[in-house]
A and B are shown apart, each in its own frame.
Chain A
Amino acid sequence: MQLLRRVVRPGIFIGLLVCDVCLGATGIEIEDVRGDDVGAGGIVYPDRDDFAPGDLDLVSFAAEPATDGVWFEASFANPIRSPRGRVVGLGPEPVDRYARLGFYTFNLDIYIDQDGIVGSGNTATVPGRQAAVDTRYAWEKAVILTPRPTEARTLLEGYFERTLEEQKRAVEGRVSAEELAAIRASVKARVGDAFYFPSDVRVQKQTIRFFVPASYLGAGFNESWRYVVLVTGAEIEQNMHLIGKSSQGFTLMMMPVSVGRPRDRFGLQRDADGGQPPIVDLLTPEPGLQQRILSNYNIVTGQLATLPGVPSKAIKPEPGPGRTFTPSPRESDIDDLLNASPVPAQQSSGRSIAERLRNLNQLKNEGLVSDEEYKQLREKILSEI
């Protein structure tokens, strides 16, 4: 990128000072630690000939404003693998028939905190990432770079539609065609507002550039934006046993992780915990921070790994109504992060709300729970919607 950059290097947060000198500069570049494509520390690459350590190792992330949007750029340790000449898993069709943008092995999520207001925005990541964005960096816009953007958006909308339909049916017992249409329209609008799936993509060697229009970002590029950037393995075929067929198990075109060294998923090193998020790399300039962040989860309490934005010292939020904000030193940020409050736990059984309600009804009919217990449990289940 032909930019006058402010550069955040591992362990040295000099960006703000440089940028203060360079007001009006045309972008930002943040370097990531090399060789940290191991997620929480235990992830190993799929046992395939088209994956090798370094492939998903993010080494830098950059944003460059353009007249009508922003060019983002991510560089990896290894050259980005081309789909040309590869063949899909089922049938002999070429991979580039599906992945037409010149890459196929990874997804790159960018969650942009535009307003800098603590708690303002979303903290969720797209389904399957098993992590949440730190509330201090709650995002307004999410850019999901994926090999099949149109299909990913369709799948994400379908996931939300199914979830909302199930929830509505669980509460009201039925969903009318009119209500279903309203759900669809609302999901389409909300997904369009919150997520962007780039299709203007350029791949060159280790670097991938992609364009996000101002019409989506809603504002011109601002150097105070902070980013949560993460890399996951891409599952470009609709491998339903990998990406899940129910709303509870759904992952957005992403390879999960599992024990051992499987071929169709990322594996885990010996004694690595199987509950860790499938995030292979997270943009964190500080060596060692990524592993601490991604290891800070609890599958019993439902606490997700909580992802901080970068650059951390660029936090200059405008206090929102009734809010105050005091930028904290970096170490405080880390401590706060590592002690982040758990988010509400997912249904541990992995069953849908409707299934749980039906099960509860059955228990009541069989006299296994009292009316009072029934009422309490029903309220508890519904409170999770």
Chain B
Amino acid sequence: MSSRIRTSRIAAAVGSALMLPSLGSAAEIGEMRWSGSVYAKFLDGNRRLENGLYGNSEQGNGDQGQGIEFELLFENQVSKQVEIGGRLSSRFNKNYWSNFGGFGAQEEDELSAQYMKMRGAWARLTPGYEWLDSAHIGSHDFGLFDAFTMGKYRYIDRDNASGIILQGSAQDDKLRWDLARQSLPRLFAGPRFRTDNGDSFALQAQDSAWAGQIKYAYTPEMNLGVILEHISDNEVESTEDDTRDGQSTSNRYNNTVLGLKGDYSAGGPVDVRAAVYRSEINIRDNVCDGSLNGNCRFSPTVQDDATDTAVTLDLDFNDTFAEGLTFNVQLFRIGADFQSVLATRREADVLRTEGREGSWGWSRPDYNFGNRANANSQAGIGYGGWNGTAQQVVSLMADNDFTDFDETMAESVIGWQGITIVPKWMLGDWEWSAEYSYIDFDTNWQACGKATKAECIYNRQDGIHSWGLGGDFRSPYAPYQEKTLQIFALHAAKALDIGTGLDVSARFKYIHDEDDRLTDNSKLADAYDGYPDAAFALNLDWLALPGAQTAVTSVKDDDREADYYTLGASAGYQVTRDLYGRVVYEYQYVDLVDGTTNVAPVGMGFEVSNDFGYAEYLTGTHRKHKIAFQLSYFLSGVEIGADIQWLIGTYDPEFRAGSGQTVQRTADGSAVITPLGNIEVDEVDLKHYRMKAFMKVKF
């Protein structure tokens, strides 16, 4: 048979294969279905940190190593009404394939041990009652509610939370309801990041979050919704220690959030979405000591009872002004006291703005010291920050732990209020979009609205200021603030008709960030009191200066102002059927003035020391070039990817004296004396390389 004949016969067979439809097969009763995944990750970078195959603020950031995770999932349709499932999983460990399968001493460390753990198990009942569609019992990501109330989880996994979920519907599914009880995560979900007081009266089993929601499709164009969540953290009543007649409980804290939501979209000139949430938190008096740097400094809640509101209103104008031109306008206010303990901590975007640049996210303290021996200096993501822009969450515990640099960072937007306007249009074959945001802050206050900063009920966490370069992503509060933030962004994208198509994009972004901080002369002494909380850690050279040289004597001396510029371009190309490559270039420029050399954050404590590495002197100009190569390789059954980045930049420090003062240099003249340390006057070069590659198979 000639190959031509054979080929033509095969072509006919292909044709017949195309003609052959197929019916899917539903899972059979009792059939155990197994699936799983293998996920390998490879990190490399010139920081040479072996703290783990991810970034973690507590255990440190790692930029080295290789590891592989294995996951096994099972599901069984036990009967028509009952389905069960579960998941066994290993985690990346700190052996980096170097333990040769043995049992070295390092495996006594839980982060190094190679173990499989049951990560989740569940049962789903569909009993067939008219009033109940399903009941889920066990682990779940709770993504069925919303980011303001009971948010979707990702801690280590996405199903770490467990509880019971009931779901139903009525009126031909126009009305849907969900009711859930989630066991409160004792790892973090309460004042002081815990759900007990650490004493013998601790009780976890009753700690719960209840959430219920009703969604009603009033018409196909209009949806309405109401959601209510109540969290209750109870302990054994300390006055009752006799179990013979039972023990009552007392409430440690509770948190209630009520939300109303609606949207209308009929394909007309304007679509409308609106949501309003009201929160209330009540904390027992003895849980927090109420001091600025006290036992609730690290906490996902404020220190005392609080009530506030969060509102968003979105107006989408469709082709209203010109064909192909759309405008999204969002008005928003997230109250300073809005408290929702189980709000989404990451992987959500509650505001329309693209926010700040991930590149400047929490890259401490490379600019001043870069001290490898300092554990806290290794905790940051590093000089490159995260890829892209920031996501906005309404949680006081915005979470970027266990992340890779190719993820998007999350930041808390509690206190944000303002407007965002996003136009999108086509110009020829170019897709354009832009943004203008003006943001004022409900957290603008002097001494937190009290007589002195000591009366602040707001947690400070790691951060000593909450915004931009050198700031922290989960600390919206500072005792003295008077901030505004403006964001301008312009994006363009086009697929050029070159080869298989060259995807090009460009962007420009400008952020203006300013904070007058102290605006009330009468509070100068309260704000700049010589940092007694930091006495053990302050720069000794600074302490030795005459008092007239260390005082902050004008409310103008502590103003902070920063201009951020970003220029970026990328080009992506489908090199082969299997391989897609993208090259990215970004130029970041920041011109930042942060008070005078004497200004350190108000109420500063232990973080001033380089041993902790939380604070940096950042006044000056910052330039950063990023070149990245991103590769995506695809085969049937496997995905392989890589992101390889070079980050080259400089920090050119500038020094300003306070009112009536002079800049004070060290004896050799090479550094300037500040509370945060002796800062070298020479320009600092920063050169980082980092790489992440992965391979994943889901079977």
Residue numbers of A with Cβ under 8 A of B are 2, 34-35, 38, 44, 47-49, 53-54, 57, 59, 75, 77-79, 85-87, 89-94, 97-98, 100, 122-125, 127-132, 150-151, 153-155, 158, 160, 163-164, 167-168, 178-179, 182-183, 185-187, 189-191, 194, 199-200, 202, 204-206, 237-241, 245, 248-249, 251, 256, 258-263, 269-271, 274-275, 278, 297, 299, 302, 304, 343-346, 350, 385
Contacts and interface: CB of A to CB of B under 8 A. Distances in A.
Interface string B1-17: 00100110011011111
Contacts of A77: 220-221, 265, 267
Contacts of A346: 21-23
Nearest to B80: A259
7 contacts: A79-B316, A124-B21, A128-B22, A130-B24, A155-B636, A202-B431, A350-B25
A260 B134 contact: yes
A187 B128 CA distance: 46
A238 B639 contact: yes
A150 B641 CA distance: 16
Interface stretch (B194-202, B283-291, B573-581, B620-628): B573-581
B23 to A, nearest CB: 5
Contacts of A49: 143-144, 146-147, 152, 348
A93 B24 contact: no
Given A86-B347, A238-B698, A190 B18 contact: yes
B167 interface: yes
A190 B698 contact: no
Contacts of A59: 267
Contacts of A245: 637, 699
Interface in B624-674: 630, 632, 634, 636-639, 641
Tell me what chain A mostly uses at the interface: helix, strand, loop, or mixed. Answer: loop
Contacts of B694: 91, 93
A35 B3 CA distance: 53
Interface of B: 3, 6-7, 10-11, 13-27, 33-35, 37, 39, 41, 71, 73, 77, 80, 83, 124, 126, 128-130, 133-134, 136, 141, 143-144, 146-147, 152, 154, 158, 167, 169, 173, 217, 219-221, 223, 265, 267, 271, 316, 318, 323-324, 326, 347-349, 387-388, 391, 402-404, 406-408, 424, 426, 431, 495, 500-501, 503, 572, 574, 577-578, 580, 630, 632, 634, 636-639, 641, 694, 696-699
Contacts of A178: 3
B634 A35 contact: no
Query: 9 smallest A-B Cβ distances: which pairs?
Result: A241-B35, A35-B220, A49-B143, A34-B220, A190-B14, A274-B26, A186-B10, A186-B11, A132-B21
A271 B126 CA distance: 10
A351 B405 CA distance: 45
B326 A154 contact: no
Given A34-B221, A44-B173, A205 B318 contact: yes
B209 to A, nearest CB: 17
A191 B17 CA distance: 11
A182 B7 contact: yes
Contacts of A94: 387-388, 406-408
Given A206-B265, A238-B698, A259 B83 contact: yes
A265 to B, nearest CB: 11
A92 B387 CA distance: 12
B80 A93 contact: no
A269 B37 CA distance: 30
Contact of A249 (B24, B41, B158, B220): B24
Contacts of B639: 98, 237-238
Contacts of B173: 38, 44, 269
Contacts of B146: 49
Contacts of A163: 17
A124 B39 contact: no
Nearest to B33: A241
B141 A263 contact: yes
A97 B632 contact: yes
Nearest to B130: A270
Contact of A2 (B323, B349, B403, B636): B323
B143 A92 contact: no
B318 A263 contact: no
Given A154-B634, A187-B14, A199-B501, A204 B25 contact: no
B617 to A, nearest CB: 33
Contact of A87 (B25, B347, B632): B347
Contact of B403 (A44, A92, A269, A297): A92
Contacts of B265: 54, 77-79, 206
Given A79-B316, A92-B403, A271 B408 contact: no
A47 B144 contact: yes
B21 A97 contact: no
Contacts of B21: 123-125, 129-132, 304, 343, 346
Nearest to A50: B143
B143 A48 contact: yes
A85 B408 contact: yes
A122 B18 contact: yes
A338 B394 CA distance: 52
B11 A189 contact: yes
A214 B572 CA distance: 25
A335 B639 CA distance: 47
A96 to B, nearest CB: 9
B681 to A, nearest CB: 40
Contacts of A53: 217, 223
Contacts of B27: 258
A323 to B, nearest CB: 18
A7 B424 CA distance: 27
B84 to A, nearest CB: 12
A79 B272 CA distance: 12
B13 A199 contact: no
Contact of A164 (B10, B83, B636): B10
B23 A100 contact: no
Given A93-B406, A270-B130, A263 B143 contact: yes
B630 A97 contact: yes
B7 A85 contact: no
B391 A182 contact: no
A320 to B, nearest CB: 17
A187 B13 CA distance: 9
B167 A261 contact: yes
Given A239-B698, A260-B134, A350-B25, A151 B634 contact: yes
A40 to B, nearest CB: 13
A169 to B, nearest CB: 13
B699 A90 contact: no
A58 B403 CA distance: 36
Contacts of A194: 18
B169 A269 contact: yes
Contact of A85 (B323, B349, B577): B349
B24 A278 contact: yes
A336 B667 CA distance: 97
A53 B35 CA distance: 28
Given A90-B696, A154-B578, A346-B23, A182 B221 contact: no
B37 A90 contact: yes
A186 B23 contact: no
B158 to A, nearest CB: 8
A292 B347 CA distance: 40
A100 B503 contact: yes
A179 to B, nearest CB: 7
Nearest to A36: B220
Contacts of B580: 100, 150
